[in-house]
Amino acid sequence: MRKPEVGDRIILTEDVGYMFSTIKKGSTGVITQVSNWSWAAKANVDGKEIDLREGTYEIL
C-alpha cells in the first residue's frame, strides 16, 4: 500500500469508532490530512472528520 495523499478516496477495512457511534466497514471517504511521520491520516467519511491509522483503510 502506498502512503496516502490529501484527496485520495478511501474505503474502511474495519469498523472505526467515532465519538459515541461507529462508522462501519465499507464506508468511503476522502483523505483531508496526512501525518508527515507515519501512515496516520484524517479523512472525511460520512460527513465526519475521523482519525485513521494504518490498516483501517485502503486507497481506492
**Domain boundary assignment for the chain:** 9-59
% of the chain surpassing 70 pLDDT = 97
Is pLDDT larger for residue 55 or for residue 15?
Answer: 15
Q: In whole angstroms, give the CA distance from residue 31 to residue 34.
A: 7
Q: Which residues pair with 30 in a beta bridge?
A: 9, 44
Range 14-40 average pLDDT:
86
CATH 2.30.30 for the 9-59 domain, yes or no: yes
d(CA 26, CA 35): 23
The average pLDDT across 20-31 equals 92
Residue 29 CB neighbours (<10 A):
23
Q: Using CA atoms, how far apart are residues 40 and 28, in angstroms rounded to an integer?
A: 17
Q: What's the rounded Cα separation, in Å, for the pair 14 and 1?
A: 16
